[in-house]
Chain A
Amino acid sequence: AMEERPYRSASGAPIALRCRQHSASCRELAVRCPRLQLRSLSAVTSAVWLAAYGLFAVSENSMVLSAAIFTTLIGLIIYLHFVKVDQESLLVIGSLGIQVTSSYASGKESTTFIEMSQVKDVVINEAIHMQKVIYYLCILLQDPGDPQGVSEVVPLFQSSKPRLDCLIEVYKSCQEILEQRKTAPQSS
């Protein structure tokens, strides 16, 4: 079963949440970030090239122009490969673990898998970000020495920053699967 719903991110950009249920204990929740705007891309490129032309007019050195083209290309590649996140997804498999994936605009995917025994809980937290207070979803990791303690907090959906309504949907989905491990009988 698959459904996609539109939401808004913390800064007002439109994002979409796609919820897919693969089986009774496996769910995939993907948040698609706003796409790269052609407007801002052309604005930045034109600004850099105008500056390069200005320098060329002053210094009469054609290396400035080729340096500007080179810089724009390299900068665009670095931006697409390391900075611009296309989609962030959460795959919850009951009794195996939680997998967090970020797909970048160039196709690169960076994945982290957290085993179920390390997951203490998934909660919605508040944080002060720049001048706003935003909500974010995070996974609390169990401290191996202390059953009540939390060793690490892993924040999710950091690039798309969905608002509370979207986060509540994701939270409810996750909790349904996490509850199953509490009700499941212990194996001998």
Chain B
Amino acid sequence: MVLKVFFPSCCSSAESGILIGRWISEQNSAVILAVVHFPFIPAQVKQYLSEVQQVTKVSVSVLGSWSNSKEKKEESLSEFLEDLGTIFSHEPWIQISKEGDSKFWSCSTLQKHSNHPKEEEIILVYYDQRKVMLSHLHPPLDTATSTENKADDASKLAAIFDTVAKSRMLFMVDRYDDGPIKLTHWQSDGVEASIIVELLKQASVPACMLLTFLLSLISGICKSRVLKFWPLSFLWSKLSTCEQLGHRLQHLQVISSNKKAQNQTQLMRKANIFVSLLIDVALGMLLMSWLYRKNRIGHLADTLIPVADHVAEELQDLLQWLMGAPAGLKMNRALDQVLGRFFLYHIHLWISYIHLMSPFIEMILWYVGLSACLGLTMALCILSDIIALLTFHIYCFYVYGARLYCLKIYGLSSLWRLFRGKKWNVLRQRVDSCSYDLDQLFIGTLLFTILLFLLPTTALYYLVFTLLRLLVVIVQGLIRLLVDLIDSLPLYSIILRLCRSYRLAAGVKFRVLEQQDGKPLRLLMQINPLSYGSVVQTYRLPTYSCYPKDSWTSLCKKLFLGELIYPWKHKGEKQD
């Protein structure tokens, strides 16, 4: 069978010594982690390896010998290296030797205990130790749901990535340490660390504690009894700003928790939330600085009242049109006049209310605009809520029209059953036949006719106000989609994929290097990074998503029957 030797490219210029690493027998491959140089005492090497094995839980052992001779090959050295094979008994004993600056190394194995020694082919695979150690291998998305027998079917490459990642402790010893063992690996020229990162780590502990304390205060206030009374709690549940605020507070709690992240997913999640919050607040500050410059708030407040007036006037025109002969349809005059005047009076009330508020608008807007410093998402939520408040009269009209229409439809269907001599049995939840008296039939038929002929008028009012309401709902929905997008985008993962693409690995790729006859096959193993689509899909932050929960058919059915529609229902909210 073919023997695969994974050799770190940083050890290519190391001095002669012995190779230590992990032997994976079921794949017939040897993962070399470091080179131990002469002079060494075998007993100390064995002790060191058993210590490493205890800490890292990786079965590190001596795998073979490495000879790097600058001049001609020395015979005595090769015999010495073979003798080492008897001290560190490992089956098979791998011998790699490099002459001068040649790229082509000779590699051979020594099998002492096998009955039929055969020449097996050797493949030499170079890998970048630092990148493989830092990288995280992502399983394919459809097999991410693990099954019990995954352990032995586990990807062969995952074993290699695992080995290098867990042997971090081995790489902490550099050549300036005064120990009995001299190692060469990717960090043997000196362990690197960054002062800024260390300072941040030290500063983060008290910062987290402060943040946790503040958050507990805020959540204590939020949960207090005062805010739970009925009008206030109803208001909080309807405003999307409060939802977004609660969502962000939850995020802050996740970041400021004292527990260290257990695995890769949690770490990425924390980092994503942190970066997302940072960018959000930065964008919000930018928006705020733009808004407060050149008195834009004043301009906004000045244009708000005329816009509201304009909308009210347009509605009045619409109602006048409906009260006449809209689109050539003939309405029932009396009902038309009643409904039209009723809605006109509402608009009149609304305009008076707006005019009452007009001196305070600028001040309110000024203070509300300050909340943009909490983040761009908050500003967008506030915008959505302002739109909802300004179009409140459209919502009221929609509710009136829908209820009227719904009542009419139910009345019509019930009287239609009476027309045919049937009745709805509430107990059995089905339609039963029923014998009515003559006067019941007479009144029923009269009422049915009245309702039927009044249907076009009500239906038209209902149609018009439903369309207006749907328009407002679509605008609000778009803003919510934007907020969701900003909330759930894993920015840290995307930036990581852009700058340090080896950290997120979908797999590996091999490149065939120059070959020479008689020497083992040389391959270079590089990391194949995850595609951007998979990055976003794997690391998406969960949101309180507001996708329409009704399918198109049920929505149309509700519209036809006149039931009230709330397409953007939040998760966990009770049905109205």
Residues of chain A with a CB closer than 8 A to B4's CB: 95-96
> A113 CA to B507 CA in the complex, in Å?
7
Partner of A187, one of B1, B123, B147, B523: B1
| Min CB–CB distance A34 → chain B (angstroms) | 26
Minimum CB–CB distance from B2 to chain A (whole Å) comes to: 4
Q: Is the interface of B mostly helix, strand, loop or mixed?
A: mixed
A94 in contact with B512 (CB, 8 Å) = no
Interface residues of A in 125-178 (CB under 8 A from B): 144-145
List the one stretch of A20-28, A42-50, A63-71, A75-83 in contact with chain B: A20-28
Quick one: which of B466-520 are within 8 Å of A by CB? Answer: 507-510, 512, 515
Considering only CB atoms and an 8 Å cut-off, how many residues of chain B contact the other chain?
Answer: 26
**Given contacts A25-B121, A96-B510, A187-B28, is CB(A117)–CB(B521) below 8 Å?**
no
Select which of B123, B125, B147, B528 is within 8 A of A113 by beta carbon. B528
Q: Bound state CA distance, A115 and B528, in angstroms? A: 14
A111 contacts partner chain B, Cβ-Cβ < 8 Å:
yes
Query: B26 and A111: CB pair below 8 A?
Result: no
Which of B26, B123, B143, B147 touches A96 (beta carbons < 8 Å)? Answer: B123
| Least distance between A32 CB and chain B CB atoms (Å) | 18
Whether the pair B507, A144 counts as a contact (CB closer than 8 A) is no
Chain A residues near B125 (CB, 8 Å)? 96
Chain B min CB distance to A36 (Å): 25
Taking a contact as CB atoms under 8 Å apart, the answer to whether B528 and A185 are in contact is no
Contacts of A184 in B (CB 8 A): 1-2
- Chain A contacts with B in 45-62, Cβ cutoff 8 A: none
Closest to B519 in A: A23
- Which residues does chain B contribute within 8 Å of A26, judged by CB atoms? 123, 512, 521
B506 to chain A, nearest CB (A): 9
Q: Is the CB of A185 within 8 A of B515?
A: no
Question: What's the minimum C-beta distance from B111 to chain A, rounded to whole angstroms?
Answer: 12
Q: Which residues of B contact A37 (CB under 8 A)?
A: none
- Residues on A with beta carbons closer than 8 Å to the beta carbon of B25: 187-188
Query: CA separation between A109 and B528, bound complex, in Å?
Result: 11
- Are A23 and B121 neighbours in the complex by a CB distance under 8 Å? yes
Q: B residues within 8 A CB of A72?
A: none
- A sample of 18 cross-chain residue pairs with beta-carbon separation below 8 angstroms, ordered by A number, consists of A22-B515, A25-B2, A93-B521, A95-B2, A95-B4, A95-B28, A95-B123, A96-B125, A96-B523, A112-B528, A113-B509, A115-B155, A115-B156, A117-B153, A144-B150, A145-B147, A184-B1, A185-B1
B residues near A (Cβ < 8 Å) are 1-2, 4, 25-26, 28, 121, 123, 125, 143, 147, 149-150, 153, 155-157, 507-510, 512, 515, 521, 523, 528
11 more CB-based (< 8 A) A-B contacts, given A26-B123, A145-B149: A23-B121, A24-B121, A25-B521, A91-B512, A93-B521, A94-B2, A95-B2, A96-B4, A111-B528, A117-B153, A184-B1
